[in-house]
Structure 1
């Protein structure tokens, strides 16, 4: 196998004069599995040397034989080959003029015994209420987990999720300590480690994090933690809600300040990842708990979502539309939407331009703001006229033509009936737009 590297002629100032130089990697430096230069060579009991990542992936797929000799091997028997690694490093240094970087000396991977010991120590420190020691151990867990995926899985397989969740619950009250105190940041540190082992497949871990103390702490971190801590709290909240399909939304909605803190992350974004996590959490909360929905509306979330939709990318758009549709199920949510001049134009714009899911949410939201409401005749007329001017009638007809879910079809049909009552005042559709409407249509840019 050979790698092609390009190097300029000495003294040349013109890149066009560069010449190709072919550099061959010695065969004994290449992993027999990946055929790439080994970065962490290890030797199996069969005497064959592999790159650690490749052979561990092979064994992780359920294979228990050496790929070369077909003899039995075990992960625990892999021994670092320091001689080959040093030779590879020397070769990299000798060929650095070709742009080859020296392979760093790999860190020794964590063993099951080490992982078991540190998890046990975290549990013991939690029982003693030793916040300082627990924070120190959690820092080691984070460091090891960041070093490699192998280490992370090793720690996870030894019960880290339950131990960390238990510690988070036990030290949740430390978040009420004075800012800057020795214990104030302990819950945030535990939270940072806990999010490295998501999803929470351990039932004990999930029950610890769903405790009233933990949820109160989670809301506190969302409101006043630093940027990374707030992101971690949003990720954990999303995990708790999404893993249960929103079944526990009621209990989480009761956590003081949680809904408001999640809404703030949408209104004042700290990162795209944090905003998306908050939107997923809010989706489950506002669709399962009326109190949560009304509190979210009270924060000014509806106009914030409308404005966020203007230039949102696909994933963000789908999530924002899903939350907005849920909030528009309530009269105060619809009132807030109707007060914003962009609501109707944005919802019409998102039909067909994002995804099928976004289209269905947009139709549902538009139906909720335009349908006749008791005592809202003038608002309904204004909204319907605005929808006609924006081309909603045409897009809804196209949607029925190309097909959609039964629920969306029903809403689109009812919305067409609503809009049809105002077409005599304002005809928005040019008949030329519907030539060949029975033919297959392309709506990707609708």
Structure 2
């Protein structure tokens, strides 16, 4: 989170934690209605206290709930302040740059002169037009220079600006293979590790959501084959950080970018196995059950990633043992989108029909899954979804002598014939 001392602005008092007086990163509310930063209040309670620090009332419950509205307000404020700060820095760098000056600026940067100021000029130049973005992307040695800076500097402000320029010019680079070789090339192990270390540092400590989303876009662009996906995933701490960013408490745009990046790098089997070990299924369940306001795109991506990890025995075991997760998938079969429906049905078909997991079958029944499957078959779904839905119904027909007896199944939709 940004600090007001850096931005010369006044922080709204209700953004500050009553205990630490710092801007709250994860605001949570006690039963007294007072909101604190999660880390501060957890430390207070873990010390044996049973009162509200602000009111000194005895707590009837030590449970707290995330104050998502306040967290979103803090994030919006933080991003707006950061944007203003960037504009201030950019304007002070004489933003209007002619193409003829680019060569001079590049030479000066290579000579380690005024790097921050020059990066601001490049950013403003790129923002002026698509043509300028392409000019920078094609300028001899420019992208290589930026990637080199990523591997040799640990200043967050500097890394943010380098990533910002790379993202602005990303669509104009054309050959992502060349960019991949620059960032992940094997003949320079130290350099490639430093590059990934800088990106991971920004992902963890970036001052704005946009800069962290930029890192994810950059990683997704260079993870173009199995080898590069594996190299990205093997960077210590990177995969675990992506799983953390999927958490509900993060900004929706960051959640979506994290899911998209995870999907892009999770094609190799070894990567998916690591995700299972990092308990990604639990995080996806939180998204599917607690994200009532989650966008359609987030739900689609969450289901897609869940489909990928449940293709392994360990992933299926974790999923089937989590009845709430099975129910969450069942609840997303309808009323989201055709893509979400396809991913959800594929997951259920795989665990219930293909692998005949009884726990998953029980969870489907308990979540009124039969009704939803019947309704789905009567909808305008794809032939593949209809076929998988039919297979699921056959499972329950086969088990009709057990708890899945469809003959006693009560519904007002008597016109629906499952068989």
- TM-score range (shorter-chain normalised) is 0.5 to 0.7
Shift of 1:360: 0.5
Q: Provide the C-alpha distance between the structure 2 equivalents of 1:122 and 1:368, rounded to a whole number of angstroms.
A: 57
Q: Provide the C-alpha distance between the structure 2 equivalents of 1:215 and 1:359, rounded to a whole number of angstroms.
A: 36
Closer, same or farther: CA 122–260 of 1 in aligned 2, 3 Å: farther
Shift of 1:172: 2.4
1:347 is matched with which residue? 329
1:199 is matched with which residue? 171
Matches within 5 A, 1:90-169: 110=96, 114-118=98-102, 120-125=103-108, 127-128=110-111, 130=112, 133-146=114-127, 151-160=128-137, 165-169=143-147
Structure 1 counterpart of 2:182, from 188, 208, 221? 208
Please give the per-residue CA displacement for 1:151-186, whole angstroms capped at 9, x wherever unaligned.
1324213124765532332122335x5xxxxx5542
- The secondary structure found in structure 2 opposite 1:329 is coil
2:148 is matched with which residue? 170
Shift of 1:116: 4.5
Larger helix proportion, structure 1 or 2?
A: 2
- The secondary structure found in structure 2 opposite 1:223 is helix
Q: Which has the higher contact order (CA 8 A, sep 6+)?
A: 2
Shift of 1:125: 4.3
1:94 is matched with which residue? none
- The secondary structure found in structure 2 opposite 1:157 is helix
1:280 is matched with which residue? 260
- The secondary structure found in structure 2 opposite 1:195 is helix
TM-score (norm 1): 0.60
Q: Provide the C-alpha distance between the structure 2 equivalents of 1:400 and 1:155, rounded to a whole number of angstroms.
A: 52
1:30 is matched with which residue? none
Q: Provide the C-alpha distance between the structure 2 equivalents of 1:436 and 1:409, rounded to a whole number of angstroms.
A: 14
Matched, 1:324 2:299: no
Q: Provide the C-alpha distance between the structure 1 equivalents of 2:109 and 2:314, rounded to a whole number of angstroms.
A: 45
- The secondary structure found in structure 1 opposite 2:135 is coil
- The secondary structure found in structure 2 opposite 1:236 is helix
> Is contact 1:122–1:134 with CA below 8 Å preserved after alignment?
no
Closer, same or farther: CA 431–231 of 1 in aligned 2, 3 Å: closer
Shift of 1:290: 1.3
Q: Provide the C-alpha distance between the structure 1 equivalents of 2:411 and 2:379, rounded to a whole number of angstroms.
A: 19
- The secondary structure found in structure 2 opposite 1:433 is coil
Structure 2 runs not aligned, ≥5 long: 1-93, 186-191
Closer, same or farther: CA 122–384 of 1 in aligned 2, 3 Å: farther
- The secondary structure found in structure 1 opposite 2:287 is helix
Q: Provide the C-alpha distance between the structure 2 equivalents of 1:145 and 1:358, rounded to a whole number of angstroms.
A: 37
Matched, 1:338 2:320: yes
- The secondary structure found in structure 1 opposite 2:311 is coil
2:49 is matched with which residue? none
Closer, same or farther: CA 421–164 of 1 in aligned 2, 3 Å: farther
RMSD: 3.2
Shift of 1:124: 2.5
Shift of 1:365: 1.5
Aligned residues: 308
Shift of 1:137: 0.9
Structure 1 runs not aligned, ≥5 long: 1-107, 178-182, 439-446
Q: Provide the C-alpha distance between the structure 2 equivalents of 1:300 and 1:219, rounded to a whole number of angstroms.
A: 20
Matched, 1:226 2:204: no
Q: Provide the C-alpha distance between the structure 2 equivalents of 1:387 and 1:416, rounded to a whole number of angstroms.
A: 11
TM-score (norm 2): 0.64
